[in-house]
Amino acid sequence: MKNRILVLNQGLSGVNKYIFSQLKNRGWDLTLLEVPFPKKCMLQAMISTLNPNLMQWKQKAKKKLFQLHKSSWTFLQRTKFCQEKLSKLDGKFDVILQISGMFAPTLDYKNLSVPYVTVNDYTMALCKKYPEWASPPSELETWLGLEKELYENARFIFAASENTRNSFINDYGIDGRKVIKVSYGNTLEATAEFSRNFDNKIVLFVGKDFERKGGYILLESFQKVKQVIEDARLIILGADKNFLKIRQSGVEVLGYIKNINDVKSLYERASVFVMPSLCEPFGLVFLEAMEYKLPCIGSTVDAIPEIIDDGKTGYLVPIGDATVLADKIITLLTNKNLSMQMGTAGHNLLKQKFSWDVFGEKMDKCLKECVDV
């Protein structure tokens, strides 16, 4: 008989399907329970930001909704939802797998009949250095307390990076023996006939959250790049082109592209991948770029230094330093041999270090320990 997992599900950077696939391939029977945000949050966000300018209203409401989703009230409401569902499912599963730390499986940990584990790419404690992404100041300490209780009662915590793992240990006082680092794997496989060249002088940025991922820093640095390399181009993929109105020479905003083959084509045509984030839980797009043998430039923040080997697979630059960023872009766009060398090294590192199979093996082992206890 298969061991049964109840998954308390929430989107986690598009990696969930890879996590679930790994567990299913190892014989686990998964039941997914989507944990919704309270509808009240959306209504409150829309009313509180009412604006005759539809675009401004949309942007302000989105920001307000993001804050409401990270309130202690929302954490508790989602937890109550889970607790009610669990009371009806008692005895139908062997272990709980919770995606993220945005809620808890119960308010009554002592009477929870099965063990649970969490998968996390970030913590609220790490968000404090980027306030736009954290709980509102009035909510932060309450949220951190709820989060700490969640992690203290978990059987295992799977952290996507050493940066996040250290946060559990140092910021929440969690026993390091139960915090397991499980790096993500690549999510975009290159086509078999793909052949890398660096003739196009295209700088590629991929990111929906343009400001947080350092988009404006990149625009500033690209102006400096254009002064040296007149035919350089910057392609921005993912950011909302209806909101991001850029009138800058050589810059093209493509927005969200649904066709995966078109996305692959952009990676194939690019010469360097750049994302100088201000706050970055992991950075899956760096792995995509490494799959396409692109040298990568990122900031020194969070998990990025665990992905980019500075000086070997690309460059790490100080947060917010447009001048250093421009210098590194110019170095790569004017040196094809160096770009090829770094891109190849990055591709090799990807295959050696970032594996969904290794992720699955670690999680499978820990989950079996939970069931055997």
> What is the model's pLDDT at position 13?
65
Residue 326, CB half-sphere, CA atoms under 13 Å: how many?
16
> What pLDDT shows up at residue 246?
80
Mean pLDDT per segment of 10 residues, for the chain of length 373 residues? 87 84 95 94 90 85 88 96 92 93 95 94 94 91 97 97 98 97 92 85 95 95 96 92 80 90 94 97 96 97 97 97 98 97 97 95 95 73
Q: What does the pLDDT read at residue 90?
A: 79
pTM above 0.75, yes or no: yes
Q: How far apart are CA 205 and CA 212, in angstroms?
A: 13
Cβ atoms of 95 and 370 within 8 Å: the answer is yes
CA distance 25 to 27: 6
Domain boundaries, the chain: 4-185+355-372, 202-353
| d(C-alpha 126, C-alpha 144), whole Å | 11
Q: Is the dihedral of CA 210, 212, 214, 217 positive or negative?
A: positive
Output the six-digit token pair for 108.
């009554």
Q: Do domains 4-185+355-372 and 202-353 have the same CATH topology?
A: yes
Distance CA 335, CA 283 (A): 25
Determine the topology of domain 4-185+355-372 in CATH. Answer: Rossmann fold (3.40.50)
Residue 255: the pLDDT is 87
> Is the backbone of residue 283 left (phi > 0), alpha (psi -120 to 50) or beta?
left
Q: Look up tokens 């799959």; give the residue.
A: 291
Q: Say what the pLDDT of residue 66 is.
A: 87
What's the chain's length in residues?
A: 373
- pLDDT given for residue 154 in this prediction: 97
Residue with tokens 């793909």: 194
Q: Which residue has the tokens 């993001």?
A: 66
Predicted confidence at residue 12, as pLDDT, reads 62
CATH architecture of 202-353: 3-Layer(aba) Sandwich (3.40)
